Structure 1
């Protein structure tokens, strides 16, 4: 079979699949999950029922495919945000804000009923691992540069970020989401004093019999 013909067939398959996914998502958003049928999907997508059944056995499989496509798109967007110019801390903030806004918008458009159905399956677990790795790597870069805290492992902090920003789904506005991101970022910044210098000074104080006051930056003698 000629290459051009193969490409034409493949493009047609993608077009049919995308039409079915788009129609299903629109129907669920407008009418709710229980009102959606294969017949209605085929009608709104402009394809025959027999054609639809060639690609999907039921509504749930279409929703799963749509969700996987959405997740892939979101990860691509977050990756492009990560790759923008700027310091690691700035890029991390941009990624966290983009992630939180995506979470909020997804909840607004599809609600808890669909979310409970969609957040299952291996594709969700894989996507979460990719997202966590993306955030973890930015945290590690920030720790190396000194702009983010280095006393907690980047993987642990990545979990903290994603769990904290999970609250974005219940927030009423983009402004509220940005405030949540700001609070989350506050927990990632290094403290004013690092542990190592303080520990070294305390050791010196013990040897000299003098007390160290970290806020004043000098020792007070006992005389």
Structure 2
């Protein structure tokens, strides 16, 4: 087959997959995880049920795939922030702020869906990558004399993640900012 044909087919498949993922997530957030059926997803995505089943075997797989994409996007966003301008301490604060906003955004979604998706291996891998990203920034900032060195960076990275997970329950941007400020204060060198 010509390359143009293959590119067109691949683009179509990506479009159908995106429509399926978005439809399932929207339905899950609207009516809860248990209320979503394959028929509803197909209808919302604008495809037939037979086509839907060619792409995914069940709603759970669709939602796990959707969530995996969200995780990748969030990690990509945090890596961009980490690679930005400024000192290691400034970039660390920017990463912590971005993470807190992601936690708040995630916390605003249906708890049932979030709880269902979070024990997944994807979450464990993403958490490890995030912990490593923060640990490396902590070490860089500590080496520059910008942060404390009396506590291992692995422990401080875990502290940051746990402290900022509270942003999931934050009721305002100001509350998120306060959490970041308090968390960052715990990292300062005395």
Q: TM-score, normalised by structure 2?
A: 0.97
Matching residue of 1:56:
56
**Cross-structure match for 1:200:** none
- Identify unmatched segments of 5+ residues in structure 1: 192-223
1:121 corresponding residue in structure 2: 120
Matched with 1:21 is 21
Aligned to 2:82: 82
| Aligned length, in residue pairs | 190
Which residue in 2 is equivalent to 1:42?
Answer: 42
Q: Give the secondary-structure state (helix, strand or coil) at the position aligned to 2:85.
A: coil
- SS state of the match for residue 20, structure 1? helix
Match of 2:132 in 1: 133
- Looking at structure 1, the residues matched to 184 and 60 of structure 2 have their Cα atoms a distance apart, in angstroms, of 37
Contact 2:139 2:153 in 1 (8 A): yes
Deviation at 1:121, TM superposition (A): 2.2
Question: Which aligned runs of 4 or more in structure 1 are off by greater than 4 angstroms?
Answer: none
Shift of 1:122: 1.9
Displacement of 1:76: 0.7
Partner of 2:184: 185
Mapped to 1, the partners of 2:125 and 2:7 lie a distance apart of: 29
1:92 matched residue in structure 2: 92
- Measured on the aligned residues, the alpha-carbon RMSD in Å equals 1.0
Distance 2:62 2:27 in 1: 12
Stretch of structure 1 that moved more, 120-129 or 142-151:
120-129
Q: CA deviation at 1:125?
A: 1.3
The one-character-per-residue Cα deviations of 1:112-144 (angstroms, maximum 9, x if unpaired) are: 101111112221111111111110111011000
**Bigger Rg over Cα:** 1
* TM-score normalised over the length of structure 1: 0.83
Tell me if the contact between 2:33 and 2:112 (Cα under 8 Å) persists in the aligned partners.
yes
1:175 matched residue in structure 2: 174
